[in-house]
Amino acid sequence: MATGAHRRYAEIMLDVEELINDHIEQQTRGTQARSKLKHLVPSVGVFFTPLLLEEAFKFQDDRRKISSRRFVPPSFNDIRLTLNSAQLMSLTRSGSIELLTFDGDVTLYDDGESLSDENPVIPRILKLLSRGTHIGIVTAAGYTEAAKYYDRLHGLLDAVANAITEKEVKDPKVIILGGESNYLFEFDINAESFLRYVPRTTWMLDEMRTWQEDDIQSLLDVAEGALRECIDNMQLSAEIFRKDRAVGIIPVTGAGKQKFNREQLEETVLVTQQILDLSSPGKKIPFCAFNGGNDVFVDIGDKSWGVLACQRYLGGIEGNKTLHVGDQFLSAGANDFKARLACTTAWIANPAETVALLDELHYHSERQKK
């Protein structure tokens, strides 16, 4: 029974793999509208690499025993992890990954926590740096002060500084792109908090230079109005928090560990998104409205712009040599979803899965050397 199920599942995966290969071929010719996959899934986007789905399924089936289950069919998580494996296999077979970018909360550390010294992801990132892979953290957290990023990422930054001192890594490239795509800091062992602020004019994409400050502030004004409307309509115990490139709602200061429910947060995201989409500045300035777990923020730009800016700043790295790892690809305003426009992606559910993903990446990379 398990053997038959394994064969049928693998055949399905091979069929989808071939559909993707056809789409990539049409994409290369500029005729992707003709692809079979496009007809079946009109919203399908760009593929930066093939996906080795049949082989990836066999890899995950060996670990998760998907075919051996009698009553529980392949689940959403089975498919998600199979897609991750297919992406890793393709990337390692086409050469080394030049840039690996991460979300922060829920990807590298638990929501609202920090990247502490004992976090198991740190030695894995150091191993990548020692092999010449560049590391970027593309996060919604938008700070203009290096010290605040150090507070969130001190375990990693201290470890990189120590690895340089011990000559375990040489000239590592670690950058932080905060506020989705608004504030760039680069690791510098001689800088305060080990981070050096990089002026926006140094790394901005050409398209970003066309964004007028008046339009940016007008968009944030509209967003603030939409957020206030949501506070009133749902009687949220929330207050507005505005920055130079973002605006959001947070629990009222002094209200203890107040927690908004998911439905309130997602309603706020969707209402704000719709109002901005229909507004004049919303048609001129890219933005991202997202559910941050216990807040809602609207940022100027999004993670596609953030990843593209990292790629450019680090010398023009291509999307098929970049992997973005994040947890927000499904919920309303999922801010990692937009990274798919800039590079390959891996969808994880928690920091432990990020560690497992990096171990799997190492496994596939080592296999290619044999």
**Consecutive sets of 10 residues in the chain, 370 residues long: mean pLDDT of each?**
88 96 94 92 93 97 94 95 97 93 93 92 97 95 93 97 94 95 96 96 94 96 98 95 95 76 93 96 94 91 95 96 91 77 95 98 88
Check residue 332 and give its pLDDT.
58
Q: What is the pLDDT of residue 257?
A: 66
pTM of model > 0.95: no
pLDDT at 140: 87
Q: How far apart are CA 144 and CA 272, in angstroms?
A: 25
Q: Find how far residue 43's CA is from the centre of its chain.
A: 20
> Which residues does the annotation mark as catalytic?
103, 105
Q: Quick one: pLDDT at residue 331?
A: 60
Closest among 128, 17, 56 to 365, alpha carbons compared: 128
**Predicted local confidence at residue 259, as pLDDT:** 87
> Given this model, what pLDDT does residue 74 score?
94
Cβ–Cβ under 8 Å, residues 247 and 297: yes
CA–CA gap between residue 104 and residue 351 (Å, rounded): 9
What Å distances lie between residue 151 and 146, 157, 196, 355, CA to CA?
9, 10, 15, 21
Handedness of CA 224, 229, 234, 237 (dihedral sign): positive
User: What's the confidence (pLDDT) of residue 255?
Assistant: 55
10 Å CB burial of residue 157 (0-12, 13-18, 19+) is buried
